[in-house]
Amino acid sequence: MPESRRNIPNIIITGTPGCGKSSHSQSLVDQLNRGFAKETTIKFKHFDVSAFAKDKECLESYDKNLDTHVVDEDKLLDELEPELEKGGAIVDWHCCEIFPERLIDLVVVLRTDNSKLHERLTKRNYKDNKIQENLDCEIMEVILTEARESYIPEIVIELRSDEAEDLDENVDRISSWVENWIEDHPRGVTNELQNADGEAHDSDEEEEEEEDNEDGELVTSGEEDYSPVPDNEEDSDDALASYHDSEDPATVEDGLTNQQKYDLEQKEQDDAEVLNEEDEETNEYVEHQEDVSE
């Protein structure tokens, strides 16, 4: 299967509700598509995740206390990942850590002054507890921390979003970044998982290895497991003899060849003869000593 690649970047625009994510996202898409109007292969698209989740029936439940829907994240990713693999997705949501790092090229975290944020949320008729929760989230930098923990620092940027002028400046800045990204990646980037060497992870190859393992092939951890069975048949007699030297012959006789049994018996007889000779020499010595004493 050919490697899946994208030729234009995917961008997440995130932040506390009321910070201007949707305005930034749509303005950015409009400006980029105007700038690349002559490029038929380049097309950016705004994904308002809240609306997308509702349209694709990815809503799990409804939280009455916070007056908001709970999204089924697994189902959402199943629907959204194919769009991300195409490239050119401008993802607009207050949550960012669920999106695969391999499919994201830039994360923009918008920050807003609390007084302005309170004013915007009040105009939306948010409940007091919901307003306070969002203000606390902004004060504690929850979303910024989440972004930095979920993606490499180089792709996470923090932009102010307090005034209308901020929106224009931010969109211009992100547009310039996109132009540079496309220029720096003429062949695009892979959508596949990367290994330690920066190469695309081959899932098919891994599956083949797993199938081989299931068929009973030996898997080692880099060190050879100890085994008394020799690799070379010519050394088998010596290897077995060495392995059994410290064992009681009675416990190892089973399983030996006839030749090995014969050799073992001969060794026992030789040992017995040596002992007999030693006993005879001892007896002769004792008798001699007795004669001398008499």
Q: What is the CATH number of the domain that holds 141?
A: 3.40.50.300
Distance CA 136, CA 95 (A): 15
Expressed as residue numbers, the domain containing 53 is: 5-190
Whole-number pLDDT of residue 282: 62
Residues 148 and 276 in one domain: no
Tell whether the torsion through CA atoms of 12, 19, 69 and 25 is positive or negative: negative
Distance CA 110, CA 159 (A): 5
Q: Is 16:134 a contact under the CB 8 Å cutoff?
A: yes
293 is in an annotated binding site: no
Residues 145 and 284 in one domain: no
Domain tally, the chain: 2
Distance CA 83, CA 24 (A): 20
Torsion over CA of 4, 5, 9 and 15, rounded to 10 degrees? 20
Residues 48 and 174 in one domain: yes
- Decide if 219 is inside a domain: no
Residues 135 and 79 in one domain: yes
22 is in an annotated binding site: yes
Q: How many CA atoms lie within 13 A of 67 on its CB side?
A: 10
Could you read off the pLDDT tens digit of each residue along the chain, which spans 294 residues?
788 999 999 999 999 999 999 999 999 999 999 999 988 889 999 999 999 999 999 988 888 777 788 899 999 999 999 999 999 999 999 999 999 999 999 999 999 999 999 999 999 999 999 999 999 999 999 999 999 999 999 999 999 999 999 999 999 999 999 999 999 999 999 999 876 555 555 444 455 555 555 554 444 334 444 344 444 444 444 444 443 444 444 444 444 556 665 666 776 777 777 677 766 666 665 555 555 454
Residue with tokens 């030693």: 278
pTM for the whole structure: 0.67
Closest by CA to 141, choosing from 120, 154, 156, is 156
User: Judging by beta carbons within 10 Å of its beta carbon (0-12, 13-18, 19+), is residue 229 exposed, middle or buried?
Assistant: exposed
User: Judging by beta carbons within 10 Å of its beta carbon (0-12, 13-18, 19+), is residue 252 exposed, middle or buried?
Assistant: middle
Q: How many CA atoms lie within 13 A of 171 on its CB side?
A: 21
Residues 123 and 186 in one domain: yes
Amino acid at 134: N
- Decide if 207 is inside a domain: no
- Decide if 200 is inside a domain: no
Please provide the size of the chain in residues: 294
Whole-number pLDDT of residue 241: 42
- Decide if 229 is inside a domain: no
Q: How far, CA to CA in Å, does 168 sit from each of 51, 189, 226?
A: 24, 28, 69
Whole-number pLDDT of residue 283: 62
Helix ranges, 36-67 (H): 49-55
End position of a domain, from candidates 190, 219, 249: 190
End position of a domain, from candidates 155, 190, 225: 190
- Decide if 103 is inside a domain: yes
50 is in an annotated binding site: no
Q: Which two tokens stand for residue 280?
A: 């005879």
Radius of gyration of the chain (CA): 39
Q: Is 18:117 a contact under the CB 8 Å cutoff?
A: yes
Residues 160 and 282 in one domain: no
Whole-number pLDDT of residue 257: 59
18 is in an annotated binding site: yes
End position of a domain, from candidates 124, 158, 190: 190
15 is in an annotated binding site: no
Q: Is 42:34 a contact under the CB 8 Å cutoff?
A: no
- Decide if 206 is inside a domain: no
Whole-number pLDDT of residue 39: 86
Distance CA 45, CA 25 (A): 9
Closest by CA to 181, choosing from 172, 189, 170, 192, is 189
Q: Is 146:159 a contact under the CB 8 Å cutoff?
A: no
Residues 57 and 120 in one domain: yes
Residues 53 and 168 in one domain: yes
Residues 9 and 114 in one domain: yes
- Decide if 96 is inside a domain: yes
124 is in an annotated binding site: yes
